[in-house]
A and B are shown apart, each in its own frame.
Chain A
Amino acid sequence: MIMEVLIASSAEEICELLGQDNSRQLLAGGTDFMVEVNYRHRSPSSVIAIDRVPELRNWHHDGDSVVIGSCVTYREIERGPLATLVPALAQAARTVGSPQIRNAGTIGGNIGTASPAGDMIPVLSALGAEVSLRSSEGKREISLDDLIVGVKQTSLGQGEFIESVRVPVLESPQEFLKVGSRSAMVISVTSLALITYPKTQSVGIGLGAVNPRPTRARQAEEFIKDFLNWESMQVDPSGLDHFKELVSEASRPIDDHRSIAAYRRHSIGVLAQRALTRIFSERSPSV
């Protein structure tokens, strides 16, 4: 019945507190955590509040990438300089909950919760995000795709916590699209991020809410390469139907109370095509 709440003031202190007792649970924005506590789905005896730790609350520019502390909120990602550096992440952050939720909820929380419908997940996946983990044993980096191993499951070790996430800054256009029945404040039925990489002349496509863990539509990414013209930023429309199919095929959606698998499979393909054709206008390269 009694819950101890420890307020950490540094990352070092989190390591110590977890080192003493690795069953302690981490509280950041609390937007998922507190709902679970209130409904008694989670009854922790000891909680470490990490949302006041300065190094976790900050982000910084580091060459071609930005390093975003795990306690940076959706609100901070949604507007301001981060929105210019990683627009797809900002677009995704805008779709999370209500303004109150976005003021509290954090990117690290979204990753750690590891929900298939987490709105940051497809963007981070398409960006090839690297997550920094820390514990009293030291630090390690892991790709987001390897960190999340299943529905609400991560490969975080005992006493380990998410310190930050590193993503590349904007090189050329990116898109995030999400389907929900409501115009705002809705859990994703399907979502998709499309990131363009002009240097490698490739695209990264992250799928949301259609697989148990982060999924890139690799075959579609590979297939569409030949249909893109990076100088004119055009796409040969003859490749679009198959591209859409490949994206749909990369999904393994389920039926639940939010939607049905058939619709999810359909809509994820539509989102991919729309994201792509927003960035690459539809015109035959020969014209």
Chain B
Amino acid sequence: MTATETYKVGARSGVGVSSQRPDAVPKATGEFSFSSDLSSHNMLWGKTLRSPHPSARIRNIDYSEALAISGVHAILTASDVPGKNLFGLEHPDQPVLADDIVRYAGEPIALVAAEHPEIAADAISRIHVDFEVLNPLVDAESAVTADPIHPEGNVIRHLVIDYGDPTSSGDVTVEGTYEVGMQDQAFMGTESGMAVPSPDGSVDLYISTQWLHSDQNQIIEALNLPEDMVRLTLAGVGGAFGGREDVSMHVHLCMLALHTGRPVKMIYDRNESFLGHVHRHPAKIWYRHHANKDGLLVKVEGKIILDGGAYASTTSAVLANACCFSTGPYKVDNAQIEGWGVRTNNPPCGAMRGFGNVQTCFAIEAQMDKIASALDIDPVELRLKNALEPGDQIITGQKITGAAPVKEVISSLADHPMPEPAINDLLARPGGTGRTTDQKHVKRGVGFAVSIKNLMFAEGFDDSSEALCEVNDGSVAIHTACVEVGQGFVTLVHQIAEEVLGVSDITVIPADTSIGSAGSTSASRQTWMSGGAVLKACEAVVVNLIEQIAEEEGVKYENLDGALVSEDGTKTIPIAEALRGRSFQEKVVHRHAPTFPLDEKGQGNAHVSFAFAAHRAVVDVDQELGLVRVVEIATSQDVGRILNPIQAVGQIEGGITQGLGLAVLEELVMKNGVIQNANFTDYLLPTALDTPPIEIASLIEEPEPGAPFGAKGIGEPPTISSTPAVVAAIRDATGLDLRRVPVRPEDIALE
């Protein structure tokens, strides 16, 4: 089955339909207005001076020459930050502009506003910074004991999970050390935005982001302004994947606009974009797995080091995910896990699709294959034997109370037919257009991997989303601060309102900070959180409608599947009809079930819900040259319920492609703290030729209790186990160990 076969594409009536995105065609034709298209009368252009050094002391900044350039209106440095010169997503530890010390190559030091971007760039090149260059700390392992590079120390978080009996042991043990390179979100639309000052000293910021209110909270602290003086409106987002969760140019734009009294716009070029947002944490992971001879897991021991780079960002939460799910979607009674999220002079790392689970899943799945091989058990069978089931506990002691169709996900994928043998086409082989590989050089391999991902924020975070439903004579307007980054909330709003109210005339009001926070578009959470808020707001309208009619007619109605039915069953009015001529305004705040912090043994009900996915990769490998061609990736995924099939498939295809990227292509190559390939020439994203057919074996629809319509988040799981599946397939073809991603040609050819 593929999801699109089951549902009618393009129809628009409630949930479960492949409702087409209103921005689909404009994005394909280039007419969509992205944040980079913003413009305003009298606008200036902003530009950022960044440190070329990963570690240095700033002795002096001389910008007199730059300021003298005609057309330059402002040059601002750390001393111009009106409020606290600190920001941070989880807690403020990062300067808005570096003061005396720079801690990573790319750290902002000074800002320019000028009449033209070229003048701004010219000014930047004439700001003279006198650096005392220091030795950077770039090794994550030594950071734990090295001299602190930040007043808060080098260990951002140390987390221990002590579960079950540490003395337990199994018949076999397998051990391995694994490494994950630094992946980047590499969204197509670089950071861009515009700040517009008002005469009263307030400012409006139009920005592409993932979380308007978190941005606002950080900006007001830095600007020393009250909340109502800094208003944010979402501008067209060109992809996010976690890389827009942190503040980038936000405070800078506001500072320049308030200082010059003119609108200021910034667009990062591709190089600056790579310097201007956080990346996926590079990881070093050691595991020892203990299993019985029948293949059941007995104990997992693990040590996980995540390189957080110079500032904290979300390192603490990423580490929690890496540790909490460090045994994968498998049942195990004993686990000893120790994790460190450390600070180095590497670029800051934070949120990226899969958020901590990606790193450990790569290592866990390699270990599972090692156990299978040690015991001569089929890898799929081994996973089925150990698969979590509803009611099982994960290693934090939390019981899985919702849907956990792990076995269904695994077996439906295992049953899916394999792809055809290779076709005789030079371009379809490893090496592609390079014409390197003849059929006789190709070996085929198959790999299988399974993953778990927690949905929504964790560890006691007060996670909420607010929605407003306004009805005016049969027209509906919905307002939330939920950011559309491409995930498809834009159609879900329509679909949910239509489902509840039966109305098709629905307006989605642009996301801004005039309504309460929707939380971040991340953690696979917006369908549940903001979708849930929209659902509740629409339902509140219906409740009021019923009350109003009861008052008017003296008859009590009940809502039955979109129609109001009178108590005695004699009268039925469709809700849409009943809404005509009436006005309602319902604002609700939606929260998921509370979560709790982890205790000193890493125990606690820290998570809301879990989603599972399995991936099977088929690859062709040219072992002599180390070249890999992924032939097919098939998947089954636990989705709760599909609200928009075509978008579900879109998320899965995109996520798998990103996972493939990490497996064989995507890495920011570091040299002594400096990124060597901050461009699309050498940061290699998969092209159409690298992206294989993606087969959806099964989407398991087992409704999740507590989730609106039973729907689980879909966005992250495809990225998590696709990577280990591809690497397992390469191991299968070559017999190599391959402990690091991305797998490079030399890792295969020179082994």
B-binding residues in A (CB < 8 A): 1, 38-40, 91, 94-95, 175-187, 189, 191, 256-260, 262-263, 266-267, 270-271, 274, 278
Contacting pair B750 A263 (CB below 8 A): yes
Asked if B737 lies at the interface with its beta carbon under 8 angstroms from chain A, I say no
Query: A177 CA to B438 CA in the complex, in Å?
Result: 11
Give 18 A-B contacts (CB < 8 Å), ordered by A residue: A38-B269, A40-B121, A175-B435, A177-B431, A179-B436, A179-B627, A181-B664, A181-B665, A182-B686, A183-B431, A184-B433, A186-B434, A257-B682, A259-B744, A263-B626, A263-B746, A263-B750, A274-B438
Query: CA–CA, A91 to B625, complex, Å?
Result: 19
Contact at B269–A39, with CB atoms within 8 Å? yes
- Residues B629 and A183 in contact, CB atoms below 8 Å apart: yes
Cα A38 to Cα B627 in complex, Å, equals 33
Contacts of B689 in A (CB 8 A): 183-184
Given A39-B271, A189-B745, A263-B750: A177 and B682 interface contact (C-beta under 8 Å):
no
* Residue in B119, B431, B682, B686 with the greatest tally of chain A CB atoms within 10 Å: B431
Q: With A38-B269, A39-B269, A257-B671 given, is the CB distance from A181 to B432 under 8 Å?
A: no
A178 contacts B681, C-beta separation under 8 Å = no
Write out the residue numbers on chain A whose beta carbons fall within 8 Å of the beta carbon of B664.
181
Q: Mark B253-269, 1 if CB is under 8 A from A, else 0.
A: 00000000000000001
User: Which residues between 51 and 104 of chain B lie within 8 Å of chain A, taking CB atoms?
Assistant: none
Q: Enumerate chain B residues within 8 angstroms of A180, measured Cβ to Cβ.
A: 434
For the complex formed, measure the closest distance between the CB of A35 and the CB atoms of chain B, giving whole angstroms: 8
Chain B residues contacting A91 (CB-CB under 8 Å) are 435
Once the chains are docked, how many angstroms separate the CA of A176 from the CA of B426? Answer: 13
B687 at interface, CB cutoff 8 A: yes
Bound complex: CA of A187 vs CA of B679, how far in Å?
Answer: 12
Interface pair A183/B269, CB less than 8 Å apart: no
Known: A1-B122, A39-B271, A182-B432. A266 touches B750 (CB 8 A): yes
Considering only CB atoms, which chain A residue lies closest to B677 in the complex?
A: A257
- Contact B687 A187, beta carbon cutoff 8 Å: no
Closest to B125 in A: A40
Interface size on B, residues (CB 8 A): 39
| Contact of B434 with A177 in the complex, beta carbons under 8 Å | yes
Q: Which residues of B contact A40 (CB under 8 A)?
A: 121, 125
Q: Which residue of B lies closest to A191 (CB)?
A: B434
Expressed in whole angstroms, the Cα–Cα distance for A262 and B427 within the complex equals: 26
Contact A181 B118 (CB under 8 A): no
B135 lies within 8 A of chain A by Cβ: no
Q: Which 3 A-B pairs have the closest CB atoms?
A: A183-B432, A257-B676, A263-B746
Q: Is B690's beta carbon under 8 Å from chain A?
A: yes
Per the bound structure, the CA–CA distance linking A91 and B434 in Å amounts to 8
* A86→B447 CA distance, assembly (Å): 42
- Judged by a CB distance under 8 angstroms, whether B749 is at the interface is yes
Q: Which residue of A lies closest to B670 (CB)?
A: A257
CB distance A185 to B624 under 8 Å? no
The closest CB in chain A to the CB of B675 belongs to: A257
Q: How many A-B residue pairs have CB under 8 A?
A: 94
Residue on A with the closest CB to B664? A181
Distance in Å from the Cβ of B663 to the closest Cβ of chain A?
Answer: 12
Q: How far, in Å, is B676 (CB) from chain A's closest CB?
A: 4
Is B172 engaged at the interface, CB distance under 8 Å to the other chain? no
Q: Are A179 and B434 in contact (CB under 8 A)?
A: yes
- What is the bound-complex CA distance between A256 and B271, given in angstroms? 18
Query: Closest CB of chain B to A266's CB: distance in Å?
Result: 6
B407-434 vs A, Cβ < 8 Å mask (1 yes, 0 no): 0000000000000000000010001111
* Interchain CA distance A178-B686 in the complex, whole Å: 18
User: In the complex, A94 Cα to B627 Cα: how many Å?
Assistant: 19
Chain B residues whose C-beta falls within 8 Å of the C-beta of A263 in the assembled complex: 626, 745-746, 749-750
Other-chain contact of B433, A94, A257, A274 (Cβ < 8 Å): A94
Whether B119 contacts A1 by the Cβ 8 Å rule is yes
Q: Is B669 an interface residue (CB 8 A)?
A: yes
Instruction: Answer yes or no: B684 CB below 8 A from chain A CBs.
Output: yes
A262 CB contacts on chain B under 8 angstroms: 746, 750
**Assembled-state Cα–Cα distance A184/B434 (Å):** 7
Chain B residues within an 8 Å CB radius of A271: 436, 625
CB pair B671–A1 under 8 Å, yes or no, is no
Bound form: Cα–Cα A182–B630 in Å: 11
Q: Does B436 lie within 8 Å of A181, measured CB to CB?
A: no
> Interface of B with A (CB < 8 Å)?
118-119, 121-122, 125, 269, 271, 427, 431-436, 438, 441, 624-627, 629, 664-665, 669, 671, 676-677, 681-682, 684, 686-687, 689-690, 744-746, 749-750
Cα distance A274–B434 in the bound complex, in angstroms: 12
Complex Cα–Cα for A81 and B746 (A): 37
A260 to B749, CA, bound (A): 12
A-B contacts besides A179-B434, A183-B432, A259-B745, 16 pairs, CB < 8 Å = A178-B435, A178-B436, A179-B436, A179-B745, A181-B664, A182-B432, A182-B686, A182-B690, A183-B629, A184-B689, A186-B684, A256-B676, A257-B669, A263-B626, A263-B745, A271-B436
Cβ contacts under 8 Å, A178 to chain B: 431, 433-436
Q: Are B744 and A184 in contact (CB under 8 A)?
A: no
CB nearest neighbor in B for A176: B435
Q: Determine how close the nearest CB of chain A comes to the CB of B296; give it in whole angstroms.
A: 39
**Pairwise interchain contact B687-A183, C-beta atoms closer than 8 A:** yes
With CB as the reference atom, state the residue of chain B lying closest to A259. B746
What's the minimum C-beta distance from A26 to chain B, rounded to whole angstroms? 22
**Assembled-state Cα–Cα distance A150/B671 (Å):** 25
Contacts of A257 in B (CB 8 A): 669, 671, 676-677, 682
Given A1-B122, A182-B687, A274-B436, A258 contacting B682 (CB threshold 8 A): yes
How far is A153 from B122 in the complex, measured between Cα atoms in Å?
Answer: 27
Given contacts A95-B433, A184-B432, contact A270 B625 (CB under 8 A): yes
Q: Nearest Cβ in chain A — how far from B750, in angstroms?
A: 6
Q: For residue B158, give the distance in angstroms from its CB to the closest CB of chain A.
A: 32
Residue of A183, A184, A257 most packed against chain B (CB within 10 A): A183
**CB-nearest residue of chain A relative to B669?**
A257
User: In whole angstroms, what is the CA distance A40 to B119 when docked?
Assistant: 12
Cβ-closest chain A residue relative to B685:
A182
Contact A182 B684 (CB under 8 A): yes
Q: CB-CB < 8 A to B750: which residues of A?
A: 262-263, 266
Bound together, the chains give a CA A183 to CA B750 distance in angstroms of: 20
Interfacial chain A residues near B681, Cβ < 8 Å: 187
Q: Is the CB of A183 within 8 A of B433?
A: yes
Q: State A263–B627 Cα separation when bound (angstroms).
A: 12
Q: Are A1 and B118 in contact (CB under 8 A)?
A: yes
Question: In whole angstroms, what is the CA distance A260 to B671 when docked?
Answer: 14
Complex Cα gap A263–B626 (Å)? 9
Contact (Cβ within 8 A) B687 A185: yes
- Whether A179 and B431, one on each chain, are in contact in the complex, defined by CB atoms closer than 8 angstroms, is yes
Docked complex Cα distance between A81 and B749 (Å): 37
Whether A278 pairs with B438 at a CB distance below 8 angstroms is yes
- The answer for the CA separation of A69 and B676 in the assembled complex, in Å, is 35
Nearest CB on A from B578, distance (A):
55
CB distance from B467 to the nearest CB of A (A): 42
Write the nearest CB–CB distance from A274 to chain B, whole angstroms: 7
Instruction: Point out which of A1, A40, A95, A271 has the most chain B C-beta atoms below 10 A from its C-beta.
Output: A1
Pick from B119, B271, B438, B745: contact of A181, CB below 8 A.
B745
Contacts of B676 in A (CB 8 A): 256-257
Question: Are B435 and A270 closer than 8 Å at their CB atoms?
Answer: no
Contact residues in A for B431 (Cβ distance below 8 Å): 177-179, 183
Question: Hey, which chain B residues are within 8 Å of A177, CB to CB?
Answer: 431, 434-436
A267 touches B745 (CB 8 A): yes
For the complex, give the distance between the alpha carbons of A2 and B671 in Å: 36
Most interface-central of B125, B746, B749 (chain A CB within 10 A): B746
Q: How far is the CB of A224 from chain B (nearest CB, A)?
A: 19
Query: A271 → chain B, closest Cβ, in Å?
Result: 7
Docked CA distance A176–B435 (Å): 7
Nearest residue (CB) in B for A185 is: B687
A185 CA / B671 CA spacing, docked (Å):
24
Q: List the B residue with the shortest CB-CB distance to A278.
A: B438
Other-chain contact of A267, B441, B625, B669 (Cβ < 8 Å): B625
Q: Which residues of chain A come closer than 8 Å to B438, judged between CB atoms?
A: 274, 278
Please tell me if the beta carbons of A183 and B690 are within 8 angstroms of each other in the complex.
yes
